[in-house]
Amino acid sequence: MFRRVLPLLLLVLPFFFNSSSEAKALDPYKVLGVDKNANQREIQKAFHKLSLKYHPDKNKNKGAQEKFAEINNAYEILSDEEKRKNYDLYGDEKGDARFQGGNFGNQEGYTYFTSGGSNGGHFTSGPGGWHTTSDQGNERTFSFSFAGGPASSGNQFGFDVGDMFSNLFGGGMKGGNHNGGFSYSGARSNPGFSNSKSIQDVNLQAFNKQIKDQGLTWFLMFYTPSTQGCHVIESMLDDVFKSLNGALKVGKVNCQIEKTLCRDLGVSSSKTARLFIYSYGSSGKGSLLEYNGDLDARSMKTFCQEHLPRISKRVDLSRFEFPNVNSDLPQVLLLSSRKDTPIMWRAISGLYRKRFVFFDAEVHDVSHPFLKKYGVDAIPALVGKLGNGDVHLLKSGITVKDLQSGMNELKALLESFEKKNKAASTHKKKEHQAETQQRDVPLLTASNFETLCGDRTPLCVIGVFRSQKDKKNLVDVLSALSRKRLTRIQKLGDATGDSVSYSLLDANKQPQVLSSFDMSAFKHLDKLIVAYKPRKGKFAAFTGDMSIEEAEKFVSSVLNGDVGFSKIRQDLAFR
């Protein structure tokens, strides 16, 4: 049996080897027209020149699209050091020997010795395919596959290789439903994306939540499954991301699936991928801008850097002072020796554009008056101004390892300063509120007595206190009452009916005024409210719970005539 098989094998195998050699992939060096010793710059230059020449959008000649695909495939191999090394060693970028690729699954193997028994050369079929081994032990592997699966669905010869070999072995291989076949890997018919974690798939929801007006710059590739050269562009996007990690993110949008998103953004489908940057101008508003430059990572990186946010205002330090603005937003100034605004500061300004006012300045000497004024002893440094007007040194001598760590350092400094600003803003609002209330409820003195409690005022409500705590309580109560519609003070001269004024009296400084109402009843009270009618020289006192509700009841009762009044002992006199 074996003697019959041997001549047939010897006849068939050379045909396979010769055919497979003819069908091998094109030489990437020849495709790009570069020497095998070419460096990456030469390879990239050749790729750039040819890709522009044969780009389907620019070259409508027959065969241009196929040539463009060959150029992309060649560049994919030669631009990757590992793939290039594998190709140089094995003639295959995956590191496989030529013709390899067969798989027998878990099937048993078969061996046929050409001469000399087990010491001679022999063919072996098994999990790795067919092997030919010389008596010196040098092994070459060929990809005859009899296993099922995607690789065995067809072959390049136009006839059923599996049937031929199944007949040789009397009814086929073990394992049931396995079809024979010759392994063949043709040109890619899809974009061929790698599993790069840096490039995110973007759908409509992700765009609205993670990209639109979020402050971070994105570099996006729009494509369809039929788009040519996506795997090459993807590798470039990955390079751009690694160079600018922290300052931007990269993503891809499948316009065949995300039709609504692509339509809303005005991105139409194309034979080739389209690249857009989503960034922020000086206005702080995000927008898409298409990239039409060279198809290489360096050009893309330059483009992305140029379109990072430009929100920070460049200032001349010799004439700079933080402006006084009607805003609670904190202001921050980056001091560096850079001629232009640093990349990370531009990126940070986009992220925090709604929370800070950004400035930056070039400075080389720490003896500069501005630096000395705020205690800056090393640059780069960050100085900030709170919403209340206080200026602080956030940090001097900032050191970072890379762009990502630098971004994290600046984020931490800004967020800490923002918390300080919120605390200062809260304190400022409380002070402003207290000042407003003080204006609403002034302290009664000799100079303003006639205005507040003179004969032209029908009713004068006086809050009497002995401590600052009681004063604050009375200010809150009387200020609230002064804003009530029925009891608010009216302008002098316009007073009609029961017009009311509100004021405070310090019993410690003006005891004689208090004794004018009563000599002893109020002497030991910490606080009380006196309703005084100047024209009649009468008063009524409230000494109960000093809440807004109870005080309002008292004043309303006075206005309604439901409270009894007593005659003052003597005219009110102030020191």
pLDDT at 497: 43
Asked if residue 45 is part of any domain, the answer here is yes
Residues 6+ apart with CB under 8 A from 373: none
Q: Under a CB-based contact definition with an 8 Å cutoff, are residues 392 and 417 in contact?
A: yes
Calculate mean pLDDT across residues 507-512: 90
3-state secondary structure at position 57: coil
Residues 6+ apart with CB under 8 A from 551: 477, 478, 481, 529, 542
Instruction: Give the whole-angstrom CA distance, residue 175 versus residue 546.
Output: 95
Name the least confident of 45-59, 132-146, 201-215. Answer: 132-146
Instruction: Give the whole-angstrom CA distance, residue 97 versus residue 367.
Output: 67
* CATH number of the domain where residue 167 is located: 1.10.287.110
Read off the DSSP letter of residue 180: P
Q: Which one has a higher pLDDT value, 266 or 2?
A: 266
3-state secondary structure at position 434: helix
3-state secondary structure at position 570: coil
Calculate mean pLDDT across residues 150-171: 35
> In terms of domains, do 302 and 317 share one?
no
Last residue of a domain, one of 265, 283, 306: 306
> In terms of domains, do 143 and 213 share one?
no
Asked if residue 573 is part of any domain, the answer here is no
Residue 193 has pLDDT above 60, yes or no: no
Last residue of a domain, one of 287, 306, 325: 306
> In terms of domains, do 142 and 34 share one?
yes
Q: Under a CB-based contact definition with an 8 Å cutoff, are residues 407 and 427 in contact?
A: no
Calculate mean pLDDT across residues 243-268: 95
pLDDT at 101: 35
> In terms of domains, do 97 and 166 share one?
yes
Residues 6+ apart with CB under 8 A from 359: 312, 313, 314, 315, 320, 331, 332, 333, 334
* CATH number of the domain where residue 385 is located: 3.40.30.10
pLDDT at 6: 47
> In terms of domains, do 248 and 142 share one?
no
Calculate mean pLDDT across residues 113-140: 42
Name the least confident of 129-133, 432-436, 465-469, 557-561. Answer: 129-133
Residue 178 has pLDDT above 80, yes or no: no
Instruction: Give the whole-angstrom CA distance, residue 157 versus residue 348.
Output: 59
Q: Could you identify the residue written with the tokens 């496989």?
A: 96
Asked if residue 189 is part of any domain, the answer here is no
pLDDT level of residue 229 (50, 70, 90 thresholds): confident
SS (H, E, C) 469-530: HHHHHHHHHHHHHHCCCCCCCCCCCCCCCCCEEEEEEECCCCHHHHHHHCCCCCCCCCEEEE
> In terms of domains, do 83 and 114 share one?
yes
Residues in the chain, how many? 575
Q: Under a CB-based contact definition with an 8 Å cutoff, are residues 246 and 403 in contact?
A: yes
Instruction: Give the whole-angstrom CA distance, residue 226 versus residue 222.
Output: 12
Which structure tokens are listed for 444? 């009664």
Asked if residue 125 is part of any domain, the answer here is yes
Q: What is the pLDDT of residues 38-97, one digit of tens each?
A: 998 889 889 888 988 888 878 888 888 889 889 988 998 998 888 888 887 777 766 554
Instruction: Give the whole-angstrom CA distance, residue 125 versus residue 143.
Output: 10
pLDDT at 25: 62
Residue 539 has pLDDT above 80, yes or no: yes
375-403 b/e (C-beta count within 10 Å ≥ 16 → b)? ebeebbbbbbbbbeeeebebbbebeeeeb
Long-range contacts of residues 10-16, Cβ cutoff 8 Å, at least 24 apart: 10/114, 12/164, 13/123, 16/142, 16/144, 16/182
Instruction: Give the whole-angstrom CA distance, residue 72 versus residue 47.
Output: 8
3-state helix, strand, coil in the chain (%, to 5): 35, 20, 45
Name the least confident of 63-77, 151-165, 199-213, 471-485. Answer: 151-165
% pLDDT > 70, the chain: 73
Instruction: Give the whole-angstrom CA distance, residue 248 versus residue 306.
Output: 12
Last residue of a domain, one of 376, 397, 429: 429
* Residue of 395, 351, 113, 348 lying closest to 211 (CA atoms): 351
* Highest mean pLDDT out of 7-11, 221-225, 512-516: 221-225
pLDDT at 416: 96
* Residue of 133, 134, 130 lying closest to 168 (CA atoms): 130
Name the least confident of 61-75, 298-312, 457-471. Answer: 61-75
Q: Is the peptide bond before 380 cis (omega within 30 degrees of 0)?
A: yes
* Residue of 198, 290, 280, 279 lying closest to 236 (CA atoms): 198
Strand partners, 450: none
Angle at 100 (CA atoms; ends 99, 106), nearest 5 degrees = 140
> In terms of domains, do 296 and 418 share one?
no
* Residue of 296, 294, 301 lying closest to 58 (CA atoms): 294
What's the mean pLDDT when you consider all of the chain? 78
Asked if residue 389 is part of any domain, the answer here is yes
Provide the residue type at 304 as one letter.
Answer: C
Q: Under a CB-based contact definition with an 8 Å cutoff, are residues 240 and 219 in contact?
A: yes
Burial class (CB in 10 A: 0-12, 13-18, 19+), 431: exposed
Question: β-strands 381-385, 217-223: how paired?
Answer: unpaired
Name the least confident of 83-97, 167-181, 247-261. Answer: 167-181
Calculate mean pLDDT across residues 189-199: 59
pLDDT level of residue 274 (50, 70, 90 thresholds): very high
Which structure tokens are listed for 141? 């592997």
pTM, 2 dp:
0.51
Q: Under a CB-based contact definition with an 8 Å cutoff, are residues 318 and 311 in contact?
A: no
Residues 6+ apart with CB under 8 A from 356: 329, 330, 331, 332, 349, 414, 418
pLDDT at 86: 82
pLDDT at 361: 97
Q: What is the pLDDT of residues 357-383, one digit of tens each?
A: 999 999 999 999 999 999 999 999 999
> In terms of domains, do 302 and 416 share one?
no
- What angle in degrees, to the nearest 10, is found between the helix axes of 64-78 and 40-54? 160
> In terms of domains, do 243 and 216 share one?
yes
List the end-to-end C-alpha distance of the chain, in Å, as a whole number: 135
> In terms of domains, do 124 and 46 share one?
yes
Number of domains present in the structure of the chain: 4
> In terms of domains, do 339 and 465 share one?
no
pLDDT at 95: 55
Asked if residue 372 is part of any domain, the answer here is yes
Name the least confident of 200-204, 270-274, 338-342. Answer: 270-274
> In terms of domains, do 161 and 74 share one?
yes
Q: Which one has a higher pLDDT value, 175 or 486?
A: 486
Q: How many CA atoms lie within 13 A of 514 on its CB side?
A: 22
Q: Which residues constitute the domain of residue 330? A: 313-429
Calculate mean pLDDT across residues 478-505: 66
Which structure tokens are listed for 438? 């003080």
